[in-house]
């Protein structure tokens, strides 16, 4: 498991660009909201800690993780420098998990290939609720923090390229 020996919230703050000039969109799935709210909070707090202004962070909620694709596409049209797509899919007894995870992964990839505004993939795809808890502020840190750092870096890359 990739996060067994890594805390997702550990990073060198001195290597992160100042985010005060950037606008960010965050699209949050309402499904598994105990997890997605923690991921959002990690992302939001991290953006603020690197200079982003609260007024430059737009949040939209969508019903489920599959809807992150459409929400992110529409968010790209809002004059933001980067979008963070936040969701959580937990393995169940059917193949639904596989279809949702694959669809969202491919959809976010397509948005990155087709459009200029980067979309950051912050979708937990865990086998258990405990694994999601561990990655949304638990013992492995917060994947939302990691996504916010990626968003800042990608906004900077877009600005400089």
Q: What is the pLDDT of residue 10?
A: 80
pLDDT band of residue 1 (cuts 50, 70, 90) is: very low
Query: Does 3 score more than 60 pLDDT?
Result: no
Least confident of 7-21, 29-43, 70-84, 108-122: 7-21
CA dihedral 134, 51, 110, 70 (to 10 degrees): 80
Q: What is the pLDDT of residue 8?
A: 62
Mean pLDDT within 152-156: 97
5 assigned to active site: no
Q: E-assigned strands of the chain?
A: 24-29, 57-62, 82-90, 119-126, 136-138, 141-142
Q: Nearest-CA neighbor of 82 among 12, 161, 149?
A: 149
Q: DSSP state, 16?
A: S
Mean pLDDT within 128-149: 95
Q: What is the pLDDT of residue 95?
A: 85
Q: Nearest-CA neighbor of 126 among 146, 143, 147?
A: 143
Residues contacting residue 49 through CB under 8 Å, at least 6 positions apart:
13
Question: pLDDT tens digit string along 36-87?
Answer: 999 999 999 999 999 999 999 999 999 999 999 999 999 999 999 999 999 9
Mean pLDDT within 121-129: 96
Count of other CB atoms within 10 angstroms of residue 46: 24
Count of other CB atoms within 10 angstroms of residue 98: 12
Query: Does 117 score more than 90 pLDDT?
Result: yes
**Which of the following is catalytic: 5, 96, 115, 140?**
96
Q: What is the pLDDT of residue 9?
A: 75
Q: What is the pLDDT of residue 53?
A: 98
Query: Does 158 score more than 90 pLDDT?
Result: yes
Domains within the chain, CATH numbers bracketed: 22-160 (3.40.50.960)
Mean pLDDT of the chain: 94
Query: Does 7 score more than 50 pLDDT?
Result: yes
Place of tokens 């909620």: 61
**Beta strands 119-126 and 82-90: pairing type?**
parallel
């Amino acid at each position: 498991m990739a996060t067994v020996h890594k805390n997702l919230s550990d990073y060198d703050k001195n290597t992160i660009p100042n985010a005060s000039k950037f606008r960010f969109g965050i699209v949050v799935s309402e499904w598994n909201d105990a997890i997605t709210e923690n991921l959002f909070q990690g992302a939001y707090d991290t953006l603020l800690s690197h200079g982003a202004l609260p007024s430059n962070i737009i949040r939209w909620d969508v019903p489920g993780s599959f809807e992150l694709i459409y929400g992110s596409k529409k968010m790209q049209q809002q004059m933001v420098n980067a979008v963070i797509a936040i969701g959580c899919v937990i393995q169940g007894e059917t193949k639904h998990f596989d279809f949702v995870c694959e669809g969202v992964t491919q959809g976010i990839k397509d948005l990155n290939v087709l459009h200029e505004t980067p979309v950051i993939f912050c979708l937990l795809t865990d086998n258990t609720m405990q694994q999601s808890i561990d990655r949304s502020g638990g013992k492995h840190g917060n994947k939302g923090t990691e996504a916010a750092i990626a968003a800042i870096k990608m906004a900077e890359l877009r600005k400089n390229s």
